[in-house]
Amino acid sequence: MGFRLSKIYTRTGDKGETGLGDGRRVPKDHPRIEAIGEVDTLNSQLGVLLAGLAEASLACPGLEEIIEVLAPCQHRLFDLGGELAMPVYQALNSEQIEQLESAIDRWNEELGPLENFILPGGSLLIAQAHVCRSLARSAERRCQQLNAVEPLQGVGLAYINRLSDLLFVAARLVAKRQGVAEVLWAAASKPQG
């Protein structure tokens, strides 16, 4: 990818359109741009999570492994954004999905079975991991909406789906390694009478 921005503002989008890598111009609310935006939002929030994990790992070295697994995901999300911006470009492959699945399996083995519904909370890091998980689901929905009108090639949909699973398990693992109790869902009381 040889093209780099030398100027941040171009004024070409001032009338509500933006350019894709294939030269097409589309409205800024086009499903493809919505998908790119959701992936970008997820990537930004994942950066917040990684920064928090890096800071907390000074006191809790067990978080370093989570950083090692999640840090490459930022790059893969950027790759996915590239695939969305340039429809013929393919960067992701099934090996990256297998890497996520391997981490999920390894971490789930440490965690054991989930016996209750859990809520996002317990610590800022746990909550932030859940923010990322929910944004991954949102990005997946936007990609599915795009796929319905312009079928997507490659494994991007599977990658984003598996990433949301990984982030759920990561949130649980952060809780375990920080020694913080997960916040368990308490059902509402049954109405009387």
What pLDDT is stored for residue 57 in this prediction? 95
Instruction: Give the pLDDT band of residue 134 (cuts 50, 70, 90).
Output: very high
Run of H or E residues at 32 = helix 31-56
- What are the domain boundaries of the chain? 26-184
The tens digit of pLDDT for each residue in 137-181 reads: 999 999 999 999 999 999 999 999 999 999 999 999 999 999 999
For the chain, state the CA radius of gyration: 19
What pLDDT is stored for residue 95 in this prediction? 97
- The most distant pair of C-alpha atoms in the chain lies apart, rounded to whole Å, by 70
The rounded distance, in Å, linking the Cα atoms of 27 and 30 is 5
CATH code of the domain made up of 26-184? 1.20.1200.10
The tens digit of pLDDT for each residue in 79-122 reads: 999 999 998 889 999 999 999 999 999 999 999 888 899 999 99
What's the pTM value of the predicted model, to 2 decimals?
0.89
**Of residues 7 and 44, which shows the higher confidence score?**
44
What pLDDT is stored for residue 37 in this prediction? 95
The tens digit of pLDDT for each residue in 47-85 reads: 999 999 999 999 999 999 999 999 999 999 999 999 999
Both tokens of residue 26? 């589309």
Q: 140, 118, 124, 151: which is closest to 41 by C-alpha?
A: 140
What pLDDT is stored for residue 26 in this prediction? 76
The tens digit of pLDDT for each residue in 34-45 reads: 999 999 999 999
Residue 26: beta bridge partners? 18
What pLDDT is stored for residue 5 in this prediction? 56
